[in-house]
Amino acid sequence: MKIRYIAGIYTLILLIVVANMVLKVKKEENAIVDMVYFNEQFMLIDEELKDGNDRTEIEDLYQCKILYLEDENYESRLAEVIQSGSMILDYYRDGEIYGKIAWQIEGDAYQKLREELFLESLLLCVVLLLIGYFILAMIYFNFIRPFKNLQQFSSQVAKGNLDMPLKMQKNNFFGAFTESFDIMREELKRARESEYAANISKKELVAELSHDIKTPVATIKATCEVLQVKEKNPDILEKVEVISNKAEMIDNLIGNLFHATLDELQALKVEVTEESSLCIEKMLLDLKYYGEIILENSIPECLLYMDRLRLEQVVDNIINNSFKYAGTAIFVSFDEKDNGIYVTIRDKGPGVPEEELILVKEKFYRGSNTKGKSGSGLGLYLAENFMSQMQGGMDCYNKDGFVTILFLKKV
C-alpha cells in the first residue's frame, strides 16, 4: 500500500473528528446562551418573590413553575417537571435551598436531542464502516491478490508451464518480491532450453559417430564376403561367417543409435515377428568362441514370438557375462511348455551375492564382483526389457552357479 493512500485515510479520519468537535462546540455555545437567559430570568423572579408578589402571577409572567420544599405535592410536581425535560435551577433563601424554579422548554426538544445524537452516531458508524471497507479493499488489492496471483503462477510452474509470465502492477508493494519469482521462471525456461539444446547436440553427436562407425563395419562385411568367395578351408570359412554375422549385428545396432542415447536405451524399438525356435540354437553356436558352451538337449522346433536382433543381443549379453564373471563352461537346456519355450543358461561360478541378486537387473547397477572388469550395468536391464516387449520374460537366481531363464511365447 502506498504512503499517499495511508495519508489520505488518516486525513479523512481527522476531518471527521474535527467536524464532530465543531458540532459539539456549537452546541455548547448554544447551551451557554440559554444559561445566561435563564439566569437573568431567575434573578427577576427572585426579586418578585422577595417583594412578596403572588407566586401564581409570577409563574404566568415568566412562564415558569416555582416549587417550594414545604409544598405538599413538591415531590410529584418535581418529578413531573423532570420528565417534561424542563430547565431546573435551585432556589436559595437565606443561604439554604428553599425550592426549585423550572422553565418549560419545547416539549420535543429532548427527543430532538436524542434523535440528533442517534443520527450523528449512525453517521459516524457508517463513515467508519466505509473507511474499514476501503482499508480492507486496499489490503486485498495490494497484499492478498498479489499472493493469489503468485499461487496460480507457482502451480503453473510446477506443471512445467514456463511460458506464462507473472503479471505485476506498477504500484505493487511486493513488486521486487514477485519480480524475483518471474526471474526464476525465466531462468528455469532458459535452463530447460539449454538442456533441450544439449540433448539435441548429444543426439547429433551419436548420429555422427554412428555414421563414422558404419564405414569400418562395412569394410569388415565386405572383407568377409571376399573371404567367403576365395577361402576353401571349412574351419576358416566358419570363423569368417561368425565375423560376418557379428559385423551385421553391429551394423544393425549402430542404426539404433540414430534414435537413442545412453539414457534413452529403453526406447529402442522391438519389432516382434514369428520366427523358428531353431534360430536360438544357431545363436548359441555362434557364441562358442567365447568359451565352451554345452547344449544339454535339442531345442523343440516351433514358431516363437521374437525380435531376432534383440534376442541375439540378450543371449550374447548373458553368455558374455557368464564367461566374464564365472569363467566356466556354459550349460544350456531347453524345456517346452504349452505356452512357450524356456531356455535355461547356467554357469558353474560362485553366482551373485544373495543381497545383490534382486538388483542385478536394475539400470546401471554393477555388483561387487565387477571390480576391474569393463561394463556399463545395462546388459541385464536391457535384456529383461527386450524379453518383456517380446511377450516373454527373464528370471535370474543362484543354483550351483548363476542361472538365467529366458521364456519365449509360442505362436
Say if 238 falls within a structural domain: no
Say if 278 falls within a structural domain: yes
Residues 108-162 pLDDT 10s: 555 565 677 778 777 887 888 788 778 877 777 776 777 677 677 666 666 666 6
85 by DSSP, 3-state: which? coil
Nine cell digits for residue 379: 546388459
Say if 181 falls within a structural domain: no
CATH number of the domain at 333, please: 3.30.565.10
- Residue 276 buriedness (CB in 10 A; 0-12 / 13-18 / 19+): middle
Nine cell digits for residue 341: 519355450
108 by DSSP, 3-state: which? coil
Say if 396 falls within a structural domain: yes
Q: What angle do CA 267, 268, 269 make, to 5 degrees?
A: 110
Residue 33 has pLDDT above 50, yes or no: no
Calculate mean pLDDT across residues 225-231. 84
What is the Cα–Cα distance from 95 to 292, expressed in whole angstroms? 143
With beta carbons less than 8 A apart as the criterion, state whether 67 and 100 touch: yes
Strand-pair partners of 404: 345, 396
Grid cell 547344449 is found at 295
Rg (CA), the chain: 54
The amino acid sitting at 130 is L
Which one of 72, 88, 105 terminates a domain?
Answer: 105
- Of 64-73, 241-250, 327-336, 366-375, the least confident: 366-375
pLDDT score at 265: 47
Contacts (Cβ under 8 Å, ≥6 apart) of 151? none
Quote the domain boundaries for residue 89: 3-105
**Phi and psi torsions of 331, nearest 5°:** -110, 130
pLDDT score at 200: 64
User: 366 vs 264, 352, 355, 357, 381, CA distance in Å?
Assistant: 19, 11, 13, 11, 11
- Of 10-14, 77-81, 302-306, 400-404, the least confident: 10-14
pLDDT score at 295: 93
Stated pTM of the model: 0.45
**Phi and psi torsions of 29, nearest 5°:** -60, -45
Grid cell 568377409 is found at 224
DSSP 8-state secondary structure symbol assigned to residue 360: T
- Of 1-10, 74-83, 129-138, the least confident: 1-10
Say if 42 falls within a structural domain: yes
- Of 23-27, 280-284, 323-327, the least confident: 23-27
Beta strands per DSSP E along 39-186: 64-68, 87-93, 96-103
With beta carbons less than 8 A apart as the criterion, state whether 401 and 349 touch: yes
What is the Cα–Cα distance from 406 to 404, expressed in whole angstroms? 7
Number of domains, the chain: 2
Report the C-alpha dihedral over residues 18, 24, 28, 29, rounded to 10 degrees.
50
Residue 28 has pLDDT above 80, yes or no: no
Say if 166 falls within a structural domain: no
With beta carbons less than 8 A apart as the criterion, state whether 220 and 239 touch: no
Residues 293-333 pLDDT 10s: 999 999 999 999 999 988 988 998 888 888 888 889 999 99
Say if 248 falls within a structural domain: no
Which one of 105, 131, 149 terminates a domain?
Answer: 105
Which one of 105, 127, 154 terminates a domain?
Answer: 105
Say if 205 falls within a structural domain: no
Read out DSSP for 121-153? Answer: HHHHHHHHHHHHHHHHHHHIIIIIHHHHHHHHH
With beta carbons less than 8 A apart as the criterion, state whether 325 and 370 touch: yes
Nine cell digits for residue 195: 538442456
